[in-house]
Structures are given as structure tokens and as C-alpha cells.
Structure 1
Amino acid sequence: MTSLLAEAPARARSTAQRPNGPVVLYIEDHPVNVLVMEALLLHRPKLRLVVATTGEEGLQAARVERPDLLLLDYHLPDCNGSDLLAELRRLDGLADTPAVVVSATDASGATGPDGFLEFWPKPLDVRGTLHAIDRLIDDHTHVGADRTLTIAGSIQ
């Protein structure tokens, strides 16, 4: 059986065509974890998920997309999440973008004033993850008056 991600080009890809909604950039190299996040965000149709599988792809996607939320795996093939976050913070407009480390290994030490806002352990808790995404996107998009969005909906 061929993985859906194995057929995707080796560059950042958008999983939906929602040009006007907030963008979630998920930098994750494991195809199953990407599929889980794609399934989760089906419950948030106003959000657009952009996926990158390496740190370099993530940087390129962040330059183009200017995401509203950063979700980073801590152990990527070409870097670790903390180093990548430092690079992302140097990009124009991303200094204050909420960032979360999503990892199967304990990366809770990566949270703090110079790091990630939160640590989400894998496997993800569906309801908790969706509520956290809503909260982080809502907080970030209300910072600028021209980027206001109310996210509604819940898992049925």
C-alpha cells in the first residue's frame, strides 16, 4: 500500500485551498502524524494546514505563507525543533507567532520565554488539541484588528 504522503512532492504542501483563513504550519516528517493532523483539522474548515517535512521546507513555507500558528516536531531529519524555531523567529512577521512543539519524546523543556508556548505529546488528544488550536489561533488573530476571526465548531 502506498502512503498518500509518499506521493506528495518533497516540498511544503498545502492540504487545502482556503486562501482567506488562518494558516497552520505543521513541520513533521512522519506521514502518519501528518495524516492525524489533517484529520483533526477537518473539524476546523476555516483553517488551512500547510505541511513541511524538513526544517528547510518549513522555513521556505513560513516565508511564503506567514502562518498564524507553528506546530513543530522536535526531531526532524535536518534539525531539531528549538533550532528551527529560532530560525523561524528571525523571519519577518513571525517573532510573535504562537509555536508549539509536538513530539513523542519529552520536549517539555523546550517551552519557556525563548522557546515554545506549549508541548503537545504524541499521540495527540483530539479534543484537547482542537481546543488548544482554537485558543492559540484566536489569541494570535485578535492581535491585529485586520486579522480578526472567530473559530466556531466542535467535534460531533
Structure 2
Amino acid sequence: MTFNRKLLQQLLTRAGVIAAVTAAGVVGLAAPSTAIPHDPGFAFLPTLTRLIPTDCSAIIDAVTVRQEKAGTFGVRVKVTQTGEACSDWKVAVRFKNLDSGYADGQQHRVVNGVVQDTVDGVIVGFGTAPGVGRVEARIVALDAQDREMEQISGTATFTLS
């Protein structure tokens, strides 16, 4: 059987994504993250996703951003998207306050690898206001119908004061 160049490139790209997902999963199992997000730039574990049905994949890096109001946090999201014919999709920040039980989040469209409707590139708003306490947050990739895509979600656990 002979591979044509495009098929070989797709195979190698998928193998690379699988290797990155596996590595991130192993690293993510090493230890939970804890910190106070008012410390500048507290990082989430990377989110790795495959954008179905296209031949696209994405790595989503996220870092908390200090907010003035108590019990809130912002998230700066950087998307590295690869592949051909990538369609629009969404990235969401979801959280649960482990002390109060309150859970919420918010989502934004991603167009050509750029997160839309952010404030200076930072996701903020009601969906990032869990209140004071211990917070568990994760980054989630969604399709156009708000269904979760194939992914390993980046997570962070921290305390808001």
C-alpha cells in the first residue's frame, strides 16, 4: 500500500495530537494545581481538543487574570489551532465553588483561532464570579450546538478571597 503525501501528513498530525494528549493526561495526573488566582498568571493545564468533523485540532492555554472585585477571576485564553478547513467553535470556562456549591460559567466563539468578545483578550463577566472560597475551574471546547467536543480539559483549583 502506498501513502500519498496528504494522507501521510494527516496520519502524522493525528499521531502528534494523540502523543500530546497522552503526555498532557499523564502530566495532569501528577498533582492538582493550587494557588491564589490573584497571583499574576496562574496557569491551567492545557486543553487539547479535536474539532470534529474537520481535520483540525487545537491546544488551548489559559491563565488567570487578577480582577478587582472579590470572588471573581478572569481568564486569558490562547488558542493554537492546526489543520485545514477549521470551522468556528466555542471555548468555555466552567467553575464550581467547592465551599458553596455554586457552579456556572460562560462561553465565547472562536473564529480562525481567535476568541471573540473578550475584554483585552480576557474572558470576564458573571460566568467568572464564583464568589469567595475554593474554586475548581476547567476549560472546555464546544461545537456550534454547545456540545462538548473530544478533548482533555485543562483544569485549575484555587482559592478566591
Tell me if both proteins adopt one fold, taking TM over 0.5 as the criterion.
no
Higher helix share: 1
State the TM-score, normalized to the length of structure 2: 0.29
Which of the pair has more CA radius of gyration?
2
Q: Report which structure shows greater RCO (CA 8 Å, sep ≥6).
A: 2
Indicate the structure with greater strand content. 2
